[in-house]
Amino acid sequence: MQRQGLGWFEERLGWSGFREKFLDKAFPMHPSFFLGEIALFSFVILVITGIYLLFSYEPSAQIITVGGRSFPAAYHSVTQIDKQPFGLIVRQVHHWAAHLMIAVVILHLLRVFFTGAFKKPREINWVIGILLLLITVMAGFTGYLLPYDAFSVTASGIGYQIAASIPWIGVALAKFVFAGQFPAIGTIPRFFGYHVVIIPLLLIGLIGLHLLVMIKQKHTEPSSSRGRVAPGRLLGIPLWPQQTSLMVMLFLLMTGGLLLIASIFPVHPIELYGPPGPQTPTVKPDWYFLWVFGLLKLIPGWLEIHLGGTVLDPEVIGGILLPSLLILLIFLVPFLNRTRERQNYLEPVTKHPLRTSIGTGVLMLLLTLSAAAYQEVLDISLAIFRLAAVLLPLLVGIATYLAIRLFRGWRSKTIKRAREPLSSDR
């Protein structure tokens, strides 16, 4: 019946081959497999809401006078967006979807890490995934400046100074990226270009590549599917119509959820923050930068590295060097693995105690550093935090390791006991 209705197209496009190849593609089922999709849909929502904002946003830091008061044009245009019938809610959804996208990309990465899905042959998609995370964070950073309020100008100013503290190239690089010494009049047009053209194009390209590689290599499966279908085949539901209807539901749920959250919890209320002025408001960066912020706080001011006639000051060490080192390590994860077989099933987290405990240790480190960002609010001394940043990750890592060992010992005993009557039967 369906064939008939589409027969006209079938005759001209001959797309039944395409149907077999793509629409019948099997999607293995596991709740954590939706993380990537949530990230994709957040991006779709960001594009849609972003295009709405484009209609009224004015990318300029020129000071304009409205009703006797002066504002940067960008700031004023965003306050005008907030006054449109749907403007405020769309802007809030855009901001919340940005948080969601970054959070979900991170969770997606953790899922892939802890289940060993990055192993051969999926190293390429691991690398693309990390690039996607970095570019998404850049999208958040560049977008954050656009409303040009007191908070966003402070945050970008700190970003500028950290970039400028790189030896040799820092100042030139920062001036190129920010179009002059921040806050320069050219910064907003340039950031606007990054935010609405360059970064979205990069994201679209890399997401496409990510999906293509995934389709070519097939998805990893939950290990419960092992042996249930012929080797080389995948147990799952087809893209059309089952998976598609799940995706549509997920997308609608997300849109509804974001609208609900955006209407209950306001985010980045620029009218409250006000336009940038001479003084600096008390700001904390967005949550995904907190760990760098905390690191900058914990690194003692006297710590300097003298290297080949230049000085690496604490800002470069905490703001650039250590974060880059961590990112580099994350990039290298699949290449540190020496197994030669192809990995087709998810691994239980207990399979590789060392990997799992390094993972939880690094997570604990990031959490401790993020907490250190609130050190003065928590009223805990820097010294205690410095100690905690070293000890807590180690403790958590070791505890994870021991817990997995214990669990495996216990399980192998119960499995043995369960098998004993069987083996005596034979």
By DSSP bridging, strand 310-312 and strand 305-307 are: antiparallel
With CB under 6 A as the contact rule, the residue among 28, 36, 147, 275 that binds ligand HEM is: 147
- Give the Cα separation of 331 and 336 in Å (integer): 10
Angle at CA of residue 315, ends 166 and 193, nearest 5°: 60
- Ranges within 169-228 binding ligand HEM (CB under 6 A): 195-196, 200
Task: Tell whether residue 283 is a contact of another protein (CB under 8 A).
Answer: yes
CA distance 80 to 424: 80
Please pick, from the candidates 189, 208, 241, 256, the single residue that binds another protein as defined by CB under 8 A: 189
Q: What mask of x and - would describe binding to ligand HEM in positions 328 to 367, judged by CB under 6 A?
A: ----------------------------------------
Q: Using the rule CB under 6 A, which residue among 54, 185, 272, 332 binds ligand HEM?
A: 54
What is the spatial distance between Cα 397 and Cα 407, in angstroms, rounded to a whole number? 15
Q: Residue 43 Cβ, how far from ligand HEM at the closest point, in Å? A: 6
Rule CB under 6 A: say whether 47 interacts with ligand HEM. yes
Query: Of another protein, ligand HEM, none, which one does residue 256 interact with (CB within 5 to 8 Å by kind)?
Result: none
- Listed residue (356, 359, 372, 290) closest to 323, CA to CA: 290
Instruction: Give least dist CB 297 to another protein, A.
Output: 6
- Position 28 contacts ligand HEM (CB under 6 A): no
Residues 6+ apart with CB under 8 A from 189: 59, 60, 179
- For residue 57, the partner it binds in another protein, ligand HEM, none, with Cβ less than 5 to 8 A by kind, is ligand HEM
| Interface residue with ligand HEM, options 46, 109, 258, 333 (CB under 6 A) | 46
Candidate list 136, 356, 357, 370; residue touching ligand HEM; CB under 6 A? 136
By CB under 6 A, the residues from 60 to 89 that bind ligand HEM are 78
Q: In the block, which residue shows the tokens 């214990």?
A: 406
The widest CA-to-CA distance across the chain, in whole angstroms, is 94
Long-range pairs, 206-212, Cβ under 8 A, ≥24: 206/128, 206/131, 206/132, 206/135, 207/40, 207/43, 207/132, 209/128, 210/125, 210/128, 210/129, 210/132
Burial of 78 (0-12, 13-18, 19+ CB in 10 A): buried
CB of 205 to ligand HEM, least distance (A): 13
Report the DSSP beta bridge partners of residue 65: 70
189 interacts with, out of another protein, ligand HEM, none, CB within 5 to 8 A per kind? another protein
Which of ligand HEM, another protein, none does residue 344 bind (CB under 5 to 8 Å by kind)?
none
* Nearest-approach distance from CB 276 to another protein, in angstroms: 10
Counting contacts by CB under 8 A, is residue 176 touching another protein?
A: yes
Among 227, 195, 196, 193, residue whose Cα is nearest residue 345:
227
When binding is defined by CB under 8 A, the residue of 231, 301, 409, 421 that contacts another protein is 301
| Beta strands, E only, 117-238 | 237-238
Q: Following DSSP, what letter does each residue of 262-290 receive, concatenated?
A: HHHS----HHHH-S--SS-------GGGH
Contact 125, 109 (CB under 8 A): no
Residue 180 is a binding residue for another protein (CB under 8 A): yes
Judged by CB under 8 A, the chain residues 195 through 254 that form the site for another protein are: none
The verdict on 286 binding another protein (CB under 8 A) reads: no
The pattern of x and - marking residues 96 through 115 that bind ligand HEM according to CB under 6 A reads: --x--xx-------------
CA–CA dist 187, 174 (Å, integer): 11
Q: Which amino acid is at 382?
A: L
Among 175, 218, 355, 408, binds another protein (CB under 8 A): 175
Token output for 64: 């304009």
Nearer CB in complex with ligand HEM: 254/396: 254
Helix (H, G, I), strand (E, B) or coil at 64: strand
Q: Where are the alpha helices (DSSP H) in 146-196?
A: 150-164, 170-177, 187-193
65 contributes a contact to another protein by CB under 8 A: no
Which one of another protein, ligand HEM, none is in contact with 86 (Cβ closer than 5 to 8 A by kind)?
none
Please, are residues 236 and 345 in contact by the beta-carbon 8 Å criterion? no
Return residues touching another protein (CB under 8 A): 62, 154, 157-158, 160-162, 164-171, 175-176, 179-181, 183-186, 189, 277-283, 293, 296-297, 299, 301, 310-316, 375-376, 379, 381
Give residues in contact with ligand HEM (CB under 6 A): 43, 46-47, 50-51, 53-54, 57, 78, 91, 94-95, 98, 101-102, 136, 139-140, 143-144, 146-147, 195-196, 200, 268
